[in-house]
Amino acid sequence: MKTITISAVSAALLLAGATAHAQGSPMNYQPSPYLGADAMFWELDPDVGGSVDSTGLRLRGGVAFNDYFALEGHLGTGGSDEGVELDYLAGAYAKGILPIVPTFRLYGLVGFTEVDFDLSDESDFSYGGGAEFDVAPNLAVSADYMRYLDESNYTFDAASLGMTFRF
């Protein structure tokens, strides 16, 4: 059921992106796909007891429809601490982009994520923000912070550092 929910959200985000692209972007702007890889420093913080944290890998992919809007997906895995292992996370997000200068951008992400720990499988509304700096015409370094899960008895957050290649 959760996979169906993420698929439905992904389809809705794609439709919203296509609508935004058709209504608000110049005719000469071509959608720009990108891929990224990050070191993901995650933390599972229960309301009772100590938190567990570890490092995993996150892959990102998306399409920028203009300088201000993109759709992005995350796949992450890896890391374990105190018997808690992150099997995977998968999510779909709308990305609002604020270009500060031509080589530096701030961005915010909102969407839904499914997270599978060896102990449970949860999905939730997710949000976060970050920054990206171009080091070459098609290559950027990026950093962000995401709140992937905010359940009644715990939160799951991750800070990530990585590289993004734009096609």
User: Domains in the chain, start-ordered, CATH in brackets?
Assistant: 2-166 (2.40.160.20)
Instruction: Render pLDDT for 106-144 as a digit per residue (tens, 0 to 9).
Output: 999 999 999 998 878 999 999 999 999 999 999 999 999
* Residue where the block lists tokens 């698929």: 7
Instruction: Tell me the two tokens of residue 19.
Output: 């609508």
- Rounded to two decimals, the pTM is 0.81
Which ranges of the chain does DSSP label H, i.e. alpha helix?
2-24
Neighbours of 2 (CB within 10 A): 15
Q: Which region, left, alpha or beta, applies to residue 21 given φ > 0 means left and ψ of -120 to 50 means alpha?
A: alpha
Instruction: Render pLDDT for 55-95 as a digit per residue (tens, 0 to 9).
Output: 999 999 999 999 999 999 999 999 888 888 999 999 999 99
Long-range (24+ apart) CB contacts under 8 A made by 137-144 are: 138/165, 138/166, 138/167, 139/163, 139/164, 139/165, 139/166, 140/164, 140/166, 142/36, 142/38, 144/107, 144/109
H or E stretch including 132? strand 121-136
